[in-house]
Amino acid sequence: KLTPIPLRDIVGNVNRSLRGWANYFHYRNSSLAMSKVRYHAEDRLRTHLMKRHQVKDRGTGFRRFPSAHLYGRYGLYKVPTKAGWNSAHAVA
């Protein structure tokens, strides 16, 4: 059963958690972990939207709620998949 909590509140809570994960893993070479976190967040929000709109087919869910809409229309935080810094290499 779906919660009566407004979608913007749900997305806001998820975004706070995602920002925390992104800040925690920002200092390591963590592109694989961050990609998994991003995919999981997209999948969970898409699943929630499918239930809310009574969409049963996963393919229809991907077409109706593409990743671009999750970020643009619904305001999901886009987890960076690369650290915000470039590694320094010693010059010989």
Hey, what are 21's tokens? 């994960």
pLDDT of 30 reads 75
- Residue 43's pLDDT is 96
**pLDDT at 31 (0 to 100):** 80
Tokens 């049963």 belong to which residue? 56
Task: Give the span between the Cα atoms of 71 and 44, in whole angstroms.
Answer: 13
- For every one of its 92 residues, what pLDDT tens digit does the chain have, with 9 covering 90 and above? 567 889 999 999 999 999 988 887 776 667 888 888 899 999 999 999 999 999 999 999 999 999 999 999 999 999 988 766 655 555 55
Nearest Cα residue to 66 out of 33, 43, 36: 43
**Residue 87, pLDDT score:** 58
Backbone angles phi, psi at 77, to 5 degrees: -70, 130
Q: Using alpha carbons only, what angle is made at residue 28 by residues 38 and 67, rounded to the nearest 5 degrees? A: 15
pLDDT at 22: 84
